[in-house]
Amino acid sequence: MRVSTSTALVGFGLAVVVGILLALAMSTSTLVESAVWPWLIAVQVTPVIVLTPIIVRVVGPSFPARVVITVLIAFFPITSNTLFGLKSVPQALHDLFTLSESGKVRRLVQLQLPHASPSVFAGLRTAAGLAVIGSIVGDFFFTRGTPGLGRLITFFFQETKAGPMFV
């Protein structure tokens, strides 16, 4: 249980950092957005079971591999919602900041981030649930180390002991 909880928390934290930084980079440069967005979609629609052998080869079947699975499952809603929020600032507000001769950093901090905060929090809410799912899914695939919730569910299912699964 602790392994699943720590995997979900670490994976969610990394997904937040990666997702928000990626959305910031994509919102400031259309070149970055057009280069990265197709890859984000490809990772999102690819089943995790297809990526598992690659992750095992690169990271190894350990706790970091579980975290990588969690991040892969959880970061997309954060990135897409944050990018949507950053790009949805009305043009009139951008013009106002242009008239006051504001720089890019001031525009980002005082205009775009506050305007995007509802979208960011919507992405965080979705990603929090996906991080828990990701930690359990990662536990199904990586069976070394301390068993987490995914391995316990598998064990109880195979032993036809439904009672302990609900405790």
Distance CA 60, CA 118 (A): 37
**Residues of the chain above pLDDT 90, percent:** 46
Residue 166 pLDDT > 60 = no
pTM summary value: 0.84
Q: What is the pLDDT of residues 57-106, one digit of tens each?
A: 888 878 888 899 999 999 999 999 999 999 998 889 888 888 888 888 88
Q: To 10 degrees, the CA torsion angle through 113, 128, 56, 38? A: -40
**Tokens in use for 82?**
């944050």
Q: Residue 16 to residues 7, 24, 44, 74: CA-CA distances in angstroms?
A: 14, 12, 16, 8
